[in-house]
Amino acid sequence: MLTSYFLLRADLARRGIAAKNSGEAEALISFPCLAGFAGAKLYHLLESPAEFFADPVHLLFSPYGFAWFGGLLAGFAAFSFVAWRIIQHNALAGHSVSLLTIFDVGSPAAALGYGIGRIGCLLSGDGDYGIPTSLPWGMSFPNGLVPTVERVHPTPIYEFIAACAIAWWLWKMGAPGDAGSRRKERAFRHADADTHAVAASRRQPGEVFAAYLVLTGVARFLVEFIRINPRSFLGMSNAQTAAAVSVIAGAVLWEWLRRKSGAPNAAI
């Protein structure tokens, strides 16, 4: 949450959407994270309703049992709502900001936050590791939440590295694209939030978000081949299926943006 907050705050400022002391970044991080925790817990409980209703109080307040997909849905919904409020605030101040632009701003922060979060998975040995391996960096988790004495792929480390690389790439994609925009950014750092001008990006709104969907989806889809998650749909894990949907959604959004702008298709 903290790493995402600082990156998101910096991106809002460089784009001229909100000053660093405005509180917009705090809202875009705190509310989606709280909603994500609640959504992850509820989704997990509703996956096995008979078990939940047999002991609802214990399971509801248990520190275990959080479903990633439920957190994604609730967190994204909360982020969208807060983003809409920011758009309304900018509209009242006479500045036009699209929802896709806010999604662009949140993409590097989401990628980095996900990667940092994987450090917790590694330290706890919660079963997010991979299949056995003889590679020299293989690790065992004899005291993990899901213990194993075999040396296995430390997939949280793989995902951490991939997420950091994706966050860096998305940050570079969303940079203001001309000297005039950079001057606006520098001026905005010392301006009141109600008197700023939104800095233009080299990319049209939505491109960074589309790249985020594709790149993070590809990374998760590939790492699932060596994860120990059970297979369910067409030989894929639930996370792998969600990752495939993410890639498809990102590709569709990228193509829609390309057709909308009439520009030739550029590489992500």
Name the band, by pLDDT with cuts 50, 70 and 90, for residue 263.
low
Boundaries of domain holding 241: 2-261
Whether 13 is in a domain gets the answer: yes
Name the band, by pLDDT with cuts 50, 70 and 90, for residue 138.
very high
Whether 268 is in a domain gets the answer: no
Tell me: pLDDT of 135 over 90: yes
7-21, 45-59, 215-229: least confidently modelled range: 45-59
Please give the Cα distance from 254 to 258 (Å, whole number).
6
Share of the chain above pLDDT 70, in %: 87
- Residue 201 burial (CB count, 10 A): 21
Mean pLDDT of the chain: 84
pLDDT per residue as tens digits for the range 84-115: 988 888 787 777 888 999 999 999 999 999 99
Residues 184, 101, 29: CA angle, nearest 5 degrees:
100
Whether 45 is in a domain gets the answer: yes
Give the pLDDT of residue 176. Answer: 78
Give the pLDDT of residue 201. Answer: 62
Tell me: pLDDT of 60 over 90: no
Tell me: pLDDT of 18 over 90: no
Please give the Cα distance from 108 to 6 (Å, whole number).
11
Residue 139 region, left (φ>0) first, then alpha (ψ -120 to 50), else beta? beta
pLDDT per residue as tens digits for the range 190-245: 444 444 455 656 688 999 999 999 999 999 999 999 988 777 777 788 788 889 99
Residues 182/157, Cβ–Cβ less than 8 Å: no
Mean pLDDT of 56-64: 77
Tell me: pLDDT of 122 over 90: yes
Name the band, by pLDDT with cuts 50, 70 and 90, for residue 129.
very high
Whether 129 is in a domain gets the answer: yes
Query: What single string gives the DSSP state of each residue in 97-130?
Result: --HHHHHHHHHHHHHHHHHHHHHHHHHHT-S--B
Residues 142/130, Cβ–Cβ less than 8 Å: no
Place of tokens 């992850």: 40
Name the band, by pLDDT with cuts 50, 70 and 90, for residue 44.
confident
- Residue 230 or residue 82, greater confidence: 82
Give the pLDDT of residue 118. Answer: 92
pTM of the entire structure? 0.81
Place of tokens 């909308």: 260
Mean pLDDT of 37-52: 82
Domain count, the chain: 1
Whether 116 is in a domain gets the answer: yes
Please give the Cα distance from 114 to 39 (Å, whole number).
16
Whether 266 is in a domain gets the answer: no
Whether 78 is in a domain gets the answer: yes
Whether 267 is in a domain gets the answer: no
